[in-house]
Chains A and B, each alone.
Chain A
Amino acid sequence: MASTHVTKRAKYKTTIKDPGTPGTLRMTFEKILFVPHNPKSAGKLDVEFRYIKGQKHTKEGSNKPPWLNLTNNQNGSFIFEFENYSDLQECRDFVGKVLAKGGEVSEKPTVAYPDEQLSAAEMELRIKLLQEDSELQKLHKQFVLSGVLTETEFWATRKKLLDREVSKKTKQWLGFKSAMISDIKPSTDGRTNKVTFNLTPEVILQIFAEKPAVHRAFLSYVPNKMSERTFWTKYFRAEYLHSTKNSIAAAAEAAEDEELAVFLKQDDILASEAQKKIRRVDPTLDMEADEGDDYTHLPDHGIFREGNKEMTESQNELYKRSLSQDINRHAAVVLEGRAVDVELEDTKAVAEALAQSKQKSSNKGESDGDISRERLDRLSRMTEIEDLQGPNTLPLAPLCIKDPRDYFDSQQANALRTSGDALGGIEQIKCGLSTQEVYGSLRESISSIKAMGLKEPIVKPEVAHQVFDALTNSISNTKYHIGKNPQESVLDRLPRKTKEELLHHWTSILELLKHFWASYPITTTYLYAKVNRLKDAMSNIYPQLEEIKGSVPSELRHQVSLLVRPMHQALDAAIQHYEASMQKRSAQSGERPNGYV
């Protein structure tokens, strides 16, 4: 989109007759802001776009001044008089654009910020985050739009997400699947010899990436020479011939059908790419150079049939492709990652996008100098002896865990396996320490650090290891322990809707509790109001939880109530605390108007 906001000088009139207040009009996708030049004058305006229903404007050439009239949903209107018509047009177009998106807008998160001025970039970032993370969006909708939390409060606990540096990096490409495409197994209907292959754009993209010759053939044959359907039929026919490992039959078929031959032949594009790539490989493993230096193994020199050399059958070499080649190619493509980032819908689009991205990367193709520098770098990395010299860090992609839940779930499975053979049972760690004990041990460690300095490593490896083990073991373990077998989680057995509701409640309760506990001790009236709001919101959750319990079939009810119990406990604790502090407060209110707890 051309611009994300429009700023113009204009006069704001409440009615047509009003002479108007001169000031600056600023419109973003979310709102309209009018600031008068004279700060004292009334007429400051701050309206969200979602309240705007339509616009009217005066026509150029009519003898009226350039006016823009925006009507809101309460049938009120805001009239702006511009300095000239071109300003008007710009604003008109902008408003038009925003209103056109109205349908989406209602779905889209909206951000209101009463007491904070945000730059457009920050706004955008927030919106982006909300769009990317549906869970976050749900929470935002539930709490901010309903007024339980303010915009600022909501984001204050997520400062990390807003950190621009992080958010720039986190864009992670989705790679190709590890599974080979040759694993697409046809489905048979059992009666006839007909087989059916299911092709998705995802699979097609992978086929194109792994077999450039097929990609080229697709671009040149479809749809002029044959339909897409025939193309893929031929392709799978070739794959089938290949899978029979009968290179003679393949050769015969290829001789009859030249298009089929394209699929059966060795991929010439790959071969030429390999020649290009070989120039940039790490010199410490360049076996090709080695072969070029080997005069002992002239053809027929050296020992020919010694037992460790093996023979290759050279017949029909042209139509032979080994599994190893396929596997290597597949792994290379997976490693390169996906070059195309388009919505995968149409095969043609996929093919073209891939061709474009290839073009781009070949245009970019680094110069000889870069290549040789890179090779030298890799060479020196391979020669240094690491512990005789300082460490060398490799460029690593930062770990980005999109969904911590998935991560811990998978770790749980691992932890369960290890705990089986490693430690029979974790020792019960002593939790009930008295305040004195804690204080004492803290003092002790501080004084020892003072005396000796920080030890390297700070935490003993064994201790750190134990803590991590215990953590991974206990995180999300209820989910597994309640279930009958450790591989299957309880949640997976619940109906989808219930599962989602449960998870959503969990996150929203966590959000509320986070804010709730963070507000203590209550020092200002603002916090006081906030706690009240939160408390109300929390008490609303109880009936909802009951409802979920009631909605599930009886055989699952027990498990659901087990899952709900911790939520209850957490909420109970919060409310108890609230009530206790309220009582204290009312008892003390005479002396301490500010409400220290």
Chain B
Amino acid sequence: MKFQIEDVTVYFPYDHIYPEQYSYMIELKRTLDAKGHCLLEMPTGTGKTIALLSLITSYSLSKPQSPMKLIYCTRTVHEMEKTLAELKILHNYQIKHLGPQARILAIGLSSRKNLCVNPTVVAAENRDSVDAGCRKLTASWVRALAEENTDVTTCEFFESYEKAASAAVLPPGVYTLQELRAFGKEKGWCPYFLARHMVQFANVVVYSYQYLLDPKVAGIISKEMQKESVVVFDEAHNIDNVCIEALSVSVRRQTLEGATRNLSRISQEIDRFKATDTSILRAEYNRLVEGLVPGGNLPITDNWLSNPALPDDILKEAVPGNIRRAEHFLHVLRRLVQYLSGRLDTENVEEESPVGFVASISSHAGIDQKTLKFCYDRLHSLMLTLEITDTDEFLHIQTICDFATLVGTYGRGFSTIIEPFDERVPHIPDPVLQLSCHDASLAIKPVFDRFQSVVITSGTLSPIDLYPRLLNFHPVVSRSFTMSLTRDCICPMVLTRGSDQLPVSTKFDMRSDPGVVRNYGKLLLEMVSVVPDGIVCFFVSYSYMDGIINTWNDSGILKEIMQHKLVFIETQEVVETTLALDNYRRACDCGRGAVFFSVARGKVAKGIDFDRHYGRLVIMIGVPFQYTLSKILLARLEYLRDTFQIKEGDFLTFDALRQAAQCVGRVIRSKADYGMMIFADKRYSRHDKRSKLPSWILSHLQDANLNLSTDMALHIAREFLKKMAQPYDKTGSSDKKTLLSQEEMEKLGDGSMHEMSY
């Protein structure tokens, strides 16, 4: 359908639209008009993505004189694929109505691992080996060598891409990763470098958060993005954690051992060069004297991960004299590694500010702050000079240099913590030195500064006033939409008691109580016998899940569950989990029905949808609090309290409840869908916990469902499922429309209902 929002004609690829989507678009348009940032919360299952895409592309189509680029950030690759697929539907629709002028180029960008088509390279098992494998074939010196010596293999795809030079362009269209690969294969061009190249010209770029937020990646990928871009962070409820993780490093024993090995390898290389060709080392020295920060004019294939610190914080000056010579730099690194391993030999937990840590490095190892700061770039330069291609072997020393650069660059917002062992298993010594960032606004600040509009959106951004504080920005629009439903198609329940009427909870003192474990098992067992198709069950942690499944297995509950549905489990192994999920979906598709056991903060909870028959019921077992004794968490809480006046308890509850809401919130995809959510812990019945849930869930949580036992929940589930199986009128009753057609939209366009009450 096609309709007007003020001066913009919006092309929307479906025949109907939800009123929420319409008001969402209006808010979005205001943001774009104001050239400011915004924060929008809209429940899952209301078609956020398509509303976003269709407004922003239509907006830029309506203003051909000032083309606008859309940078769409997703958390995961599968979300990226999904977004691109939706964009494709939209693009086809726009072309149908507007003709060739609606053509845009939209690409997804991912790592070599996901884009490479060279069969020998992509066969490597992990990302780092693929990266290294690619470098071995495409590094500038390797290619130079290959010109002289035909025995040196290069990558045919990259060579023909280079040969095509400026002719190597992607024709307009929407390319998912898979299509990009297919295109590359067909043309014989390397899809990865083609995509990297096309990013500058594309109208829409879809990639992962870190390509903007993590300075290591953003430094090489997102440098050239113009200011007139709209940046969208979808599913952004966890964005603060992403920002923090992007700037955090930890060093373990294994890291230091690996780094020592790396250093001796480097020193061998240096000796080799000294013996054969000293000119290269001298040339590097001269370059460093001139203060040339490497990475500037490098060939695209020689790019490595960039500096871990943010671009604004990197000094544009010459590398300090004491590390200009390769062997001197090596000595500095050796001393640093030695110092760090000395620090790891501690009996107690030590916490220090970066400033204090730098001071003690300086006094004990004789390395000053400025030197530390340049470590990463200096290492990068050295490795290029030494023509090292198997970069995957050098990750350890790279970690050490990341750490040095970060600790040397930032004085506040960070802390260094040394823990001799994990508190949960005190008998296993596993010392770790962590540099953890507490201030989420650091990593995202350059993004807010650089780009005209940044849109942060998700299904759960409650409380919506907290995010501007955490990320330190001023949105021009900040709104939370509720959902207008045709029928009550979501059914949240709080289960506080098991079938024996005793309370259930994953509180630390209760979680291993056999009665509680049995009650949870009984709950699931009853539910699998009445709920059709898919059921998802979230646990608070892997260890708790393992424990409870083993107990259920021993007591025979698991066997009984299997009588009704197949059981699939998330493990820490990604391949295994992916296959389990795939099988889970197949089992739901074919009508066999299945249960999926997952972990609230695990990878599955982070972005897999359990909509329609893939999830008719989600059970959240327990409240997914973080491990509150973690030193890093405590340090972060302290920082939040001092800087933003956010109370510890409030933050912890907020964090736990947003996780829980995320887990259960993915059951519905549209208003025609339906699903139940069970919060199985007595603590959910308390107002201070419950009220942190997003309003669209709260508004469906009836008072009668706040304090249920298993049998009552079972009864409600039966009634709900019966009700949902009946046919209904999809457009809603006349006074409250939940689905708008073209005509109704035109009426709206007259301005009669511009301020809708959603």
Contacts and interface: CB of A to CB of B under 8 A. Distances in A.
B86 A292 contact: no
Interface residues of B, number: 120
B283 interface: no
Contacts of A121: none
Interface in A426-469: 456-457, 461, 465
A395 B591 CA distance: 10
A382 B582 CA distance: 13
B316 interface: no
A386 interface: yes
B235 interface: no
Contact of B78 (A289, A323, A385): A289
Interface stretch (A165-173, A227-235, A304-312): A304-312
Contacts, number: 277
A363 to B, nearest CB: 21
B541 to A, nearest CB: 6
Interface in A296-315: 296-308, 310-312
Interface string B579-599: 111110111011110100100
A388 interface: yes
B110 A292 contact: yes
Interface in B68-86: 76-79, 81-82, 85-86
B718 A397 contact: no
B632 A287 contact: no
A372 to B, nearest CB: 6
Interface string A549-592: 00000000000000000000000000000000000000000000
Contact of B86 (A179, A324, A383, A421): A383
Of the candidates B76, B89, B627, B671, the one having the most CB atoms from chain A within 10 angstroms of its own CB is: B76
Interface in B548-564: 549-550, 553, 558-559, 562-563
B626 A308 contact: yes
Nearest to B589: A394
A295 B209 CA distance: 10
B388 interface: no
Nearest to A177: B562
A274 B575 contact: yes
Given A296-B210, A397-B590, A278 B248 contact: no
Contacts of A287: 76, 78, 574, 577-578, 581, 603-604, 608
A332 to B, nearest CB: 5
Given A298-B395, A303-B632, A310 B542 contact: yes
A384 B402 CA distance: 43
B576 A331 contact: no
Contact of B718 (A332, A383, A422): A422
B82 A284 contact: yes
B250 A303 contact: yes
Of the candidates A291, A311, A422, the one having the most CB atoms from chain B within 10 angstroms of its own CB is: A291
A139 interface: no
B47 interface: yes
Nearest to B540: A308
A294 interface: yes
Given A292-B110, A300-B251, A385-B47, A456 B395 contact: no
A290 B78 contact: yes
A178 B568 contact: no
A372 B578 CA distance: 17
A contact residues, range: 35 or more
B569 A327 contact: yes
A300 B399 contact: yes
B76 A290 contact: yes
B395 A293 contact: no
B579 A274 contact: yes
Interface string A263-277: 000000000001101
A293 B77 contact: yes
B730 A285 contact: no
Given A303-B250, A327-B569, A294 B434 contact: no
Contact of B578 (A281, A299, A327, A334): A281
A328 interface: yes
Interface in B207-262: 208, 210, 214, 216-217, 242, 244-246, 248-252, 255
Contact of A379 (B176, B553, B577): B176
A385 B14 contact: yes
Contact of B587 (A335, A380, A385): A335
A180 B559 contact: yes
Contact of A389 (B14, B85, B128, B630): B14
7 contacts: A285-B608, A287-B581, A291-B574, A301-B249, A327-B549, A328-B580, A388-B47
Interface of A: 178-180, 183, 274-275, 277-278, 281-308, 310-312, 322-325, 327-328, 331-332, 334-335, 372, 375-376, 379-380, 382-389, 394-397, 418, 421-422, 456-457, 461, 465
Given A386-B669, A386-B672, 4 more contacts: A288-B578, A305-B250, A324-B549, A461-B727
